Amino acid sequence: MSSRRREKRHHKERKDKKHHRSHRRKDSFDKIPINDIERINKSKREYISKDFKARIINKEPYIVKIKNFLTSGEVKELIRLAEKNGFERSNVVIDNKLLYDEMRTSQTSYLLEDGCPRKYSKNIENLIKRICYLLDCKREQIEGLMCVKYEGGEYFETHVDFFSTDDVDLLEDAGNRIFTFFAYLNSVDKGEGGETEFPELGVKSRPIKGDAVGWWNFARGEKKQNTLHRGLPPTEGHVKYGLNIWIREKPFF
Ligand SMILES: O=C(O)CCC(=O)C(=O)O
């Protein structure tokens, strides 16, 4: 093949690849880029600690477990902020309303009063940049961070994180929750409860300080009902702290 023809062919292949990539990104928000664990684990890892390591623990629905998702400095800052703002009884969404219900007995602290915060402290801003990098999303798609605390016996029964079509007020601004990271702010030893369990999948994740579990709530535009999960109660005398990070379809502002 002449060098001119080879060059032309190379150019066409590159163009096709590029087209394929942009097409994929546009059509299927749930295929980028956290799904490319190898690339993320090997990438330059801007905003990611050197001990960060992600692995897939379930393919469909897609669930990843991440070691050292948070640094110990971030964990300290998140707990400090949560304690400073104070914990209150956690609520649940039922029929478009936020209510207290026996299905959730844990405690919640909102890290900023503003529901869609524009600025956190430097440590937490770095975490926000990490989430944007991992999910290729805008910071305005990230809900205000929510810390949860479970004292011995407290739990969150089986639920999904996406809203139903009837939850019109919650869906109004930014659409649904397409992705969830649940990060652990302390470790709970084996036999002391506190796991995140996906009962339909036979998957359980034990709280280890700084680690996180993350999953797509949608696949190919469809809600994944089998992302049903629950926060199991720590046994008496033990406590669990976690961080909810929800990514919406669209920016809040
Ligand atoms: O506590 C857990 O492990 C899961 C918490 C959870 O699912 C939630 O807060 O929505």
- Pocket test of ligand 1: the residue of 103, 229, 238 to mutate, having most ligand atoms within 8 Å of its CB, is 229
Which among 231, 238, 242 is positioned nearest to 209, based on CA atoms? Answer: 242
Whether residue 111 contacts residue 80, with contact meaning beta carbons closer than 8 Å, is answered with no
Q: Which amino acid is at 234?
A: P
* Dihedral angle computed from the Cα positions of residues 32, 38, 41 and 46, in that order, rounded to the nearest 10 degrees: -40
User: What ranges do the domains of the chain cover?
Assistant: 1-31, 37-248
CA 238 – ligand 1 centroid, Å: 17
- Closest residue by Cα to atom 9, ligand 1, is 244
Based on its alpha-carbon atoms, the radius of gyration of the chain, rounded to whole angstroms, reads 20
Using CA atoms, how far residue 207 sits from 43, 116, 152, 220, in Å, is 26, 27, 14, 30
Ligand 1 pocket, 229 CB below 6 A? Answer: yes
Ligand 1 pocket, 241 CB below 6 A? Answer: no
CB under 8 Å to 117, separation ≥6 — which residues?
111, 144, 145
Whether residue 175 contacts residue 252, with contact meaning beta carbons closer than 8 Å, is answered with no
Q: Which CATH class is domain 37-248?
A: mainly beta
pLDDT at 15: 43
pLDDT by position in tens, the chain (length 253): 444 444 444 444 444 444 444 433 333 444 456 777 777 777 767 788 888 999 999 999 999 999 999 999 999 999 999 999 999 999 999 988 899 999 999 999 998 745 555 678 888 989 999 999 899 899 999 999 999 999 999 999 999 999 999 999 999 989 999 999 999 999 999 999 999 999 999 999 999 999 999 999 998 889 999 999 999 999 999 999 999 999 999 998 7
- Closest residue by Cα to atom 2, ligand 1, is 231
pLDDT at 118: 63
pLDDT at 160: 97
What is the position in ligand 1's atom list of the atom closest to the CA of 150?
Answer: 1
Ligand 1 pocket, 187 CB below 6 A? Answer: no
pLDDT at 2: 45
CA 172 – ligand 1 centroid, Å: 23
pLDDT at 31: 44
